[in-house]
Amino acid sequence: MLSTEQLQQFEQDGFIVLPDFVERARCEELQAHVDALLVGLDGSGEACVFSTTDPSHGANEWFLGSADKVRWFFEDGAVDEDGNLTRAIPEAVNKLGHAMHDLDPVFDSFSRTPELAEVAGDVGFVDPKLLQSMYIFKQPGIGGEVICHCDHTFLWTEPQSVIGFWLAIEDATLNNGAMWALPGGHRQSAKSRFRLVDADDRSKGTTTDVFDEVPYDTDGLVPLEAEAGTLILLHGTLPHYSAANASNKSRHAYTLHVIEGTANYLSDNWLQRPPDFPLRGF
């Protein structure tokens, strides 16, 4: 799937943008399926807010127990001080996660294609495992900022192996929260690690180990605008970011995080599947 030049670019920059990877009609079908999933969801109960600027979800069982579930998380701007939704659920959801690719037939077929499998092989996977899926809404007016981070911080393997497969379901522009990335930034080590406090008792919540307090060089970030159907590959230690969506247009995207099956996925990673729900490949 990938040319020698594209692979060299991925090695040099830590990311690669592949337009027209998925037909726009397929993206529209997935979006329609998600719309149907949201019908009838209850805004009350255990569902929590997901925000990278206020990561209190890291202590919430709704979040920590989502490795083998399809759960929804709300935008911070869609919930008032009393915890009540201020808008209808389809306009309030931040994302769905984190096992749609294994539990939902439509997501499964969208995630497991010969083309994606071939790209995974091209970038060096020997035994790729689909660890996590997220459908991200980036809602109009309230779609939250995603602070500059690398995926290895949250999905730690030894050696590092995670790669993000980010697919634009809608057009991602500078106006509605397109992603930005730091070319070559993947050659630096992760600055932190988000993990469980106690691998044997996730009720104790999460913590972040800080290895380098100097922030990422956000001045060097470049925008990765992407039309619907574009695939962007993100190296696990690549710093990337997206601004809040202040526009009147959403920016739906679908992300798969893939790890190498031969790598050691640490037992204190926040995302832990039960033994009867093993990871699968493409």
The answer, yes or no, to whether residue 55 has pLDDT greater than 80, is no
- Integer Cα distance of 236 and 259 in angstroms: 9
Mean pLDDT value of segment 144-165: 97
Q: What is the largest CA-CA distance in the chain?
A: 55
What is the arithmetic mean of pLDDT over 60-79? 91
| Backbone angles phi and psi of 202, in degrees to 5 | -70, -10
Report phi then psi at 127, rounded to 5.
-135, 70
Average pLDDT score, the chain? 94
Helix (H) / strand (E) element for 33: namely: helix 24-38
Q: Point out the least confidently predicted range of 45-54, 142-151, 198-207, 243-252.
A: 45-54
**Count of CA atoms in the C-beta half-sphere (13 A) of 109:** 7
Q: Are 54 and 259 in contact (CB under 8 A)?
A: no
Q: Is the pLDDT of residue 30 over 80?
A: yes
**What's residue 57's pLDDT?**
64
- Smallest CA-to-CA distance from 235 within 211, 206, 218, 260 is with 260
Backbone angles phi, psi at 166, to 5 degrees: -105, 120
pLDDT interval class at 11 (50, 70, 90) = very high
Q: Please write the tens of the pLDDT for every residue from 110-122.
A: 999 999 999 999 9
Is the per-residue pLDDT at 52 higher than 70? no
As a whole number, mean pLDDT of residues 51-69 equals: 80
Residues 6+ apart with CB under 8 A from 165: 116, 119, 120, 231, 233, 255, 256, 257, 258
Backbone angles phi, psi at 5, to 5 degrees: -65, -40
Q: Rounded to whole angstroms, how far apart are CA atoms 49 and 71?
A: 12
Give the pLDDT mean for 198-210: 96
Q: Write phi, then psi, for 31 (nearest 5 degrees).
A: -65, -40
Contact at 8 Å (CB) between 97 and 66?
A: yes
The Cα 115–Cα 118 span in angstroms is: 5
CA atoms within 13 A on the CB side of 263: 23
Candidates 282, 196, 229; CA nearest to 25 is 229
